[in-house]
Amino acid sequence: MQLSYCTNVHPAEDLDGVIRQLREYAGPIRRRTGLEVLGVGLWLPAVLASRLAGSDADLALLREVLSEQGLQIHTLNAFPYGGFHNDVVKTDVYLPTWAQRERLQYTLDCANVLAALLPDGVPGSISTLPLAWRDPWTNDDDEAATVAFAALSAALRTLKECTGKTVRIAVEPEPGCVLDTVSDVTAWLAAGIPRGIDPDFIGLCIDTCHLAVSFADPAAAVRGVGAAGLRIVKVQASAALHVAGPSGPAARRALEAFAEPRYLHQVRELESDGTVLTADDLPQALGELPGRGPWRVHFHMPLHLVPAQPLETTADVLEAAVAEVSTLPYARDVHLDIETYTWSVLPGRHTDLVEGIAGEIAWAESHLLAPAPS
């Protein structure tokens, strides 16, 4: 599997900002890890994606900087449309939805940019949102989204015919969205195949933080994708916050430190009978969920971080999911993108970003990519 780290951790919204982040962070991270080449999962806001798609000169400049820093692009993150580091993001991250033509155009721009940046013979991937936040979402919206994905499939086929580059879209389930779980995405995409959604070009992104929050079995979730006639295109390597006993005073104090105003931190509680209780954000969970069973919080934790008790992470879910994906016949084409975008809102004092992401990459290489002992 091809490893990278996602640059949506950096607040850059224009070409100068992206070039600066590559030189100030990605290049130094590569040198810190000792890698000859480092993969970066580039986040391009919509305005910049449109600019790059229409400018050979800007693409040439970006390729030059990537080469200068020893970086390679295999995957893009096209989930946030823009403003991902605004003071408050929350549910704005799901706009525009897949029922709006701006989302399709943004994704097409990203596909054209990625095709221009991909090394020869390497397929590319673009992760995208699971249609929209669940409310409001109508039957008309669902129809519009199906039509958009059929048009996207056709455009990606044409892109391959014209450039020889394969670019696949990876739909990323997230708690609280229209497509909340892996099984939701597989069912929706499978139903759209007769309507023109092409499984050769449209598949899944498994974000292992989101997977863990849903309390899904990681191996079963991966196997279910293949059973539906679909493929896993991308894995976002991420870990959720886990608290075995969320009602205790120490746990409550520790959790309150993670209730920050920028991003949405959905919470799920697992009851003893297997029922999963839901809250759309951590402050709501602290006020409403009973705390009888363990909580998992949608807060992307650094992969190598071992928090102080009573907090834990779901790095074990990440390891189990990647182990299952690695058995797939097309595993070499799956992109493994470290996506810890929350460093800026992580409670407490932590190491500098270069050192932190380098630590995550080292952890991923030893825990996710190292050969199993014989």
Render pLDDT for 144-174 as a digit per residue (tens, 0 to 9).
Answer: 999 999 999 999 999 999 999 999 999 999 9
- pLDDT tens track for 45-75: 999 999 999 999 999 999 999 999 999 999 9
Of 109, 65, 84, residue with least CA distance to 6 = 84
Nearby residues of 56 by Cβ (< 8 Å), 6 or more positions away = none
Q: Which sign, positive or negative, has the C-alpha torsion 313, 317, 323, 326?
A: negative
Structure pTM? 0.97
**Mean predicted confidence (pLDDT) in 116-137:** 97
Q: Where are the beta strands (DSSP E) in 66-160?
A: 71-77, 124-128
Q: Which residues pair with 42 in a beta bridge?
A: 76
- pLDDT tens track for 180-238: 999 999 999 999 999 999 999 999 999 999 999 999 999 999 999 999 999 999 999 99
- Dist. CA 310–CA 248, nearest whole Å: 9
**Mean predicted confidence (pLDDT) in 301-329:** 97
Q: Are 364 and 318 in contact (CB under 8 A)?
A: no
**Mean predicted confidence (pLDDT) in 114-121:** 96
Say whether pLDDT at 371 is over 80.
Answer: no
Q: Which CATH number does 2-239+314-369 carry?
A: 3.20.20.150
The pairing of strands 71-77 and 124-128 is parallel
- Dist. CA 257–CA 147, nearest whole Å: 43
In the DSSP assignment, the letter for residue 179 is S
Q: Which helix (H) or strand (E) covers residue 311, if one does?
A: strand 311-313
Say whether pLDDT at 345 is over 70.
Answer: yes
pLDDT at 372: 60
**Residue tagged 């721009």 (tokens):** 109
**Mean predicted confidence (pLDDT) in 11-38:** 97
| DSSP H helical ranges for 118-217 | 139-163, 182-192, 208-213
Return the domain boundaries, the chain: 2-239+314-369
Report percent pLDDT > 90 for the chain: 98
Nearby residues of 96 by Cβ (< 8 Å), 6 or more positions away = 81, 102, 103, 106
Q: What is the mean pLDDT of the chain?
A: 97
**Mean predicted confidence (pLDDT) in 120-149:** 97
